[in-house]
Amino acid sequence: MLLELQNVILKMVARGVSLETTLEALCREVENLLPDAIVSVLTVDKAGRLHPAASPSLPVSYSQSLEGTKIGTKGGSCGAAAYYKKSIAVLDISTDPRWEQYKELALPHGLKACWSSPIFGTTSDVIGTLALYYKQSRQPTALEQSIIEGCLPLCMIVLEHHERREKERHLAFTDITTGLGNRAAFSNVSNMVTDAPLTLLLIDIDNLKVVNDTFGHAAGDDLIKTVAHRLAALNPKLEVYRLGGDEFAVCVRSISSKNLETILKQIFGTIVQPAPCHGSIISPSITIGVAKRTQHRQSTEELYRQADLALHHAKEISRGSFVLYEKSMSTAISQRREKIRMVVRAIRDNRVEAWYQPIIRLATQEIVGVEALARIRTEEGSVLSASQFHEATADVQAANALTSRMISLIARDLSIWSDEGIDIAHVGINVSAVDIREGTVSRFLQSSFTAHGVPLNKVVLELTESFFIGRKDERIAEEIETLRSMGVKVALDDFGTGFASLTHLLTVPLDIIKIDKSFVEHIGLDIAGDGIIEGVLHIAKGLRIDCIAEGVETREQAVRLQEMGCKLGQGFLYSQAVPAQVIVSSLKKSNWGQRVE
């Protein structure tokens, strides 16, 4: 009989049936075997309090009244059994001192006697009690005793298995570093599509990477913990999760705009207080993206996407502050994402092409070099110019991938041309600031050019002003130094569009300055523009820096540029960027100088 009971219960444990249902089944099975008895299981927590777990045949009100009662000498049969760690048989509840405080609860229900045994866990702690109540004043029989003895280990298995599962569940939903709910816990909220108002704050710690690099990872971890604890302690209305790395989510249910403002003020006010982080004092700084559920039945996932967009926006325009999601953000940022995806896909499918625009000696109209410009062949076969996907290069991975692909295409083209007897002295390659900072350009150049047997002294890297101004970025300076030591030349692209003054720029060794087309456009139209070009040409000459005028579209511009002393130019007057084969045939023509098209 006992074996059958054990089988039933163990199967339920194995199937993951809930604790309550399993224990209720156990009580019923025992009651079937012992029709006189009413069975009850209580659990005992670490603080020594009792909690009803299952007692299907006891009145609910009676069971509930035991919730949270303390174990002890006067704790009824169960409290005493747990306290003394041995079975306690109370033959008459109405007279037994151990029931003094509880008898009024039991007697009205006709409960006269109660025999309770402690359930031990594997560590010998008492984790519960298994009790038989009788409606007569009597002792347990030998049969009852043997059945209960057989059930105690079973109860232990059921209770410990449940506790383990709860612990696992807790761990699966908890971030170990901070003790906050983790991404899985947050996803549980996300899975709900509801009508309930919800405001979502996505919080990102600013400059965590700098803290890690400067003060070490232990300080970075402390910073994360500080922010987590401060957020969690702020306001009981806030549900705080750590989504990973330096990102937190805070859910606020039902809140007015005014209160939201107060909460944001509270958050910023608390977070920025200086905190000790592994021996250093750091003032945390955070940026927040906020989205509010406005429509009915808007999923939390959608809300997350909006808060994420707002956060990205905030990181770009107002670090250390917050931005509330607006519809227009979706378009600007998702357009950029779409471009990044487009570039990444084009690289993967080999649809990136290197096109070349000739650089011309204005006096003779001969080609002295080329600038390589990236083109994407769409799946439909049309060609996109770089200005249509250029903003994707703000993304480190897309920029690096595009640069490495362009470099290998350029190296291959140069070696093909060289085999055909065409020796181009100068090929301009556009790189973005992130390429240089990552240190990938020198590696790519070295490996691709060596593989194709092309010397590196043909390469002119075109860098924009933003590389040089306002930042003493040592990694960029070092990388430029490395590149120059490899024989690579450096051109300052788009000169005049940024904020750099020429004196600023001269702190960096330069070989070429490319005068932006916005200046060339104004030639002959306003005196100021001409003056700037002349000034630049003059200073550059003194420093033996070559100048190339960009965007030369008319004969007048070309003539005027020469009068001002500019020797080199490029622009639609001579040629647009064209595919490698086209430029080769132009280069082969000795009478080069007309438009290629």
State the nearest-atom distance from the C-beta of 185 to ligand C2E, in Å: 41
Give counts: helices (H), strands (E), the chain: 21, 24
Cβ neighbours for 494, distance < 8 A, ≥ 6 positions apart:
464, 465, 514, 516, 550
Asked if 284 interacts with ligand C2E (CB under 6 A), we say no
State the nearest-atom distance from the C-beta of 535 to ligand C2E, in Å: 21
State the nearest-atom distance from the C-beta of 498 to Ca ion, in Å: 11
33 membership: H or E segment, kind and range: helix 19-33
Q: Which of 116, 182, 357, 430 binds Ca ion (CB under 5 A)?
A: 430
State the nearest-atom distance from the C-beta of 356 to ligand C2E, in Å: 10
State the nearest-atom distance from the C-beta of 553 to ligand C2E, in Å: 5
Closest among 577, 585, 595 to 427, alpha carbons compared: 577
State the nearest-atom distance from the C-beta of 495 to ligand C2E, in Å: 10
Name which of residues 483 to 512 contact Ca ion (CB under 5 A). Answer: 493-494
Q: How far is CA 405 from CA 27, 338, 454, in A?
A: 71, 20, 16
Report the 10 Å Cβ neighbour count for 208: 19
- Write out the two tokens for 75: 């704790």
State the nearest-atom distance from the C-beta of 373 to ligand C2E, in Å: 4
Q: Which of 112, 312, 426, 517 binds ligand C2E (CB under 6 A)?
A: 517
State the nearest-atom distance from the C-beta of 344 to Ca ion, in Å: 22
Asked if 493 interacts with ligand C2E (CB under 6 A), we say yes
State the nearest-atom distance from the C-beta of 559 to ligand C2E, in Å: 16
Binding string, 442-481, against ligand C2E, x = CB under 6 A?
--------------------x-------------------
Residue 485 binds which entry of ligand C2E, Ca ion, none, CB below 5-8 Å type-dependent:
none
- Residue 109 buriedness (CB in 10 A; 0-12 / 13-18 / 19+): middle
- Give the whole-angstrom CA distance, residue 141 versus residue 146: 9
Asked whether 426 and 369 are in contact (CB, 8 A), the reply is yes
Asked whether 53 and 82 are in contact (CB, 8 A), the reply is no
State the nearest-atom distance from the C-beta of 576 to ligand C2E, in Å: 6
- Half-sphere exposure of residue 85: CA atoms within 13 angstroms, side-chain side: 6
Name which of residues 390 to 409 contact ligand C2E (CB under 6 A). Answer: 390, 393, 402-403, 406
Q: Which stretch binds ligand C2E (CB under 6 A): 44-52, 116-124, 166-174, 547-555?
A: 547-555
Cβ neighbours for 164, distance < 8 A, ≥ 6 positions apart:
none
* Residue labelled with tokens 């933003």: 466
Closest among 491, 441, 481 to 461, alpha carbons compared: 491
581 membership: H or E segment, kind and range: helix 580-588
Query: Which CB, 204 or 493, lies closer to Ca ion?
Result: 493
Single-letter residue type at 416: I
Name which of residues 364 to 393 contact ligand C2E (CB under 6 A). Answer: 373-374, 385-387, 390, 393
Backbone CA torsion sign across 263, 265, 271, 273: negative
3-state secondary structure of 354: strand
Name which of residues 531 to 590 contact Ca ion (CB under 5 A). Answer: 550
Binding-site size for ligand C2E (CB under 6 A) equals 25
Binding string, 495-514, against ligand C2E, x = CB under 6 A?
--------------------
Residue 175 binds which entry of Ca ion, ligand C2E, none, CB below 5-8 Å type-dependent:
none
1 membership: H or E segment, kind and range: none
Q: How many residues does the chain have?
A: 597
Asked if 430 interacts with ligand C2E (CB under 6 A), we say yes
- Write out the two tokens for 396: 């480190």
The two beta strands, 50-54 and 38-44, are antiparallel
3-state secondary structure of 474: helix
Binding string, 571-590, against ligand C2E, x = CB under 6 A?
xx----x-------------
Residue 385 binds which entry of Ca ion, ligand C2E, none, CB below 5-8 Å type-dependent:
ligand C2E
Query: Which CB, 271 or 483, lies closer to Ca ion?
Result: 483
Closest among 282, 270, 265, 266 to 208, alpha carbons compared: 282
Q: Which of 43, 432, 440, 448 binds ligand C2E (CB under 6 A)?
A: 432
Query: Which CB, 128 or 571, lies closer to ligand C2E?
Result: 571
* Residues of the shown chain interacting with Ca ion in the complex, contacts defined by CB under 5 A: 430, 462, 493-494, 550
* Residues of the shown chain interacting with ligand C2E in the complex, contacts defined by CB under 6 A: 357, 373-374, 385-387, 390, 393, 402-403, 406, 430-432, 462, 493-494, 517, 551-553, 570-572, 577
